[in-house]
Structure 1
Amino acid sequence: MSTDRRSDDGFAILEALVALAIAAGVLTATMAGLANLARGARQVDQVQQALLEAQNIESRLRAGLPIDALSGRYPDWRIEFMPVDRPVDPRTGAVLTGVTLERVDLPGWQVRLVYVETTRAPDFGGSPHEPG
């Protein structure tokens, strides 16, 4: 009878080791899933912040903020301006300008927009008025 008892004790230790290995695997998988979830949540926060900043840049452009003033205010952004093939309004000098906004820390994430730049066209007719 004592030999039967020893073999039962051996199975109990083996079962405990298998259960511990399974629990460790489940715990590892759970922690990896939580880490991926946290990484995804952080990326969503970055994209939301980038979207708010892009809307802010767009609002400033539409309000007439000079292009030169944007570069220093948004160091995390790469801002490209390009002319749009549309006629210029000769009365106001307004032109359509295309803008591509790209966040440096979010590769591949871009915002493209077109806005009206309302700079005054130079007056080439007549004589210039000089202050007296």
Structure 2
Amino acid sequence: MSTLIASLLPWWTDSATSMGYTVSASASAWHRFWWIGPLIAVAVGIVYALVIVKAVAAQPKTLLLLAGGGFASFVLTLISLIDTISRPTGMGVPQLASPGPSAGVFLALVTTAVLCYFGALAAQDAGARLPIVIPGPRRE
């Protein structure tokens, strides 16, 4: 849910000042390809909620799929951050413009990292074999 909220915040902003006027523009995650990571995160969150309420069986393969979805969401959000950093100015005045990433992309990066970690931890606790051992609390 927090990734969905972060996707509605500005991910990229640009402002330019010329002759005493300031013009600014921004774009949320629902611009370019940036929406894919948050959409995967929302889908993973919905399926994980169904596992918690026992509408879907908590099998290791299901939880491993959720961990992979969380990882994919994190990687896609990281690629989106790199894209916002490398995105050129759209204002046409490069000397006076200041484009760059905004708070939404950083918040989404944190929330997808948390989703990836806890998804992998849940999969590991259910008995799924992961390439690495995830440190953290264990369910008994």
Please, what TM-score do these two structures have when normalized by structure 1?
Answer: 0.30
Higher percent of residues as strand: 1
| Higher RCO, 1 vs 2 (CA within 8 Å, ≥6 residues apart) | 2
Rg (Cα) greater in structure: 1
Please, what TM-score do these two structures have when normalized by structure 2?
Answer: 0.29
